[in-house]
Amino acid sequence: MNWLQQNGWQAAALVLMALGICALMPRARTRSRTLGLLLAFAGTAIALWLLPTPAGLIAHSVLFWLFAASAILCGVLMITSRNPVYAALWFALVTLATCGLFLLQQAAFLAAATIIVYAGAIIVTFLFVIMLAQQAGATAYDQHSHHVVLASVGAFVLFGALLATLRSDAWPAARPPEEAAVIEPALAQNGLSRTHGADGKMQSLGRSLFGDYLYAVELAGTVLLVASIGAIAIAPRRSQGTL
């Protein structure tokens, strides 16, 4: 009971959003989307009322709301659109909006790299495959989603866990005042970011990547190399003489 008093509204918001998304998902037969939209908006409104609003420069706030709102909206449109090509394009817009949020957090290089890798290459490959696979128009089984309830419940349980973690008091604002004085206000508010030479410059990013996280970077690079060698080894049909 105590838990419900503390977290009831949050749970209600999550349930409403999950129901709304469930109702919005494309099904085998078309029907009105009003109910789903209403539920999703109600849940989002409660969540907005619960979550602390960012404080800072007016330009920062406006940009934050712009990017965040378009990321969420495009995300919903991505999973609810009937046409795979449109879904891929909404995904590209989600990536761009998220990159805008990265920029607001002084992570310019991360934003640019994400655009190059995701929006510029991976989604282009998706489109490539979709266009090759669907020359005769979209097939019936591509037009509605499968396991709607299971997917919604799973996603929103994960989302709730993430929110609960973010809102818990396990993250003290343990930032020494001399460090908090030099970094940007948008960064200082973020209790989870541990900045390192926080000037947002590429030099400090490089020093961090190839100094503090050298083993992780090398390990990731090796894994990617192994994966690409594996892909090259699997891809060609040997009987046809390539490789």
Point out which residues bind another protein (CB under 8 A).
85, 89, 92, 108-109, 111-113, 115-116, 119-121, 124-125, 127-128, 131-132, 135, 200-202, 240-241
Q: Quick one: 2 or 240, whose CB is closer to another protein?
A: 240
How near is the Cβ of 66 to another protein at its closest, in Å?
A: 17
Q: Quick one: 121 or 225, whose CB is closer to another protein?
A: 121
Q: Quick one: 102 or 156, whose CB is closer to another protein?
A: 102
Q: Quick one: 41 or 210, whose CB is closer to another protein?
A: 210
Tokens 């998706």 -> residue: 126
How near is the Cβ of 128 to another protein at its closest, in Å?
A: 5
Q: Quick one: 146 or 238, whose CB is closer to another protein?
A: 238
How near is the Cβ of 116 to another protein at its closest, in Å?
A: 5
How near is the Cβ of 131 to another protein at its closest, in Å?
A: 5
How near is the Cβ of 106 to another protein at its closest, in Å?
A: 11
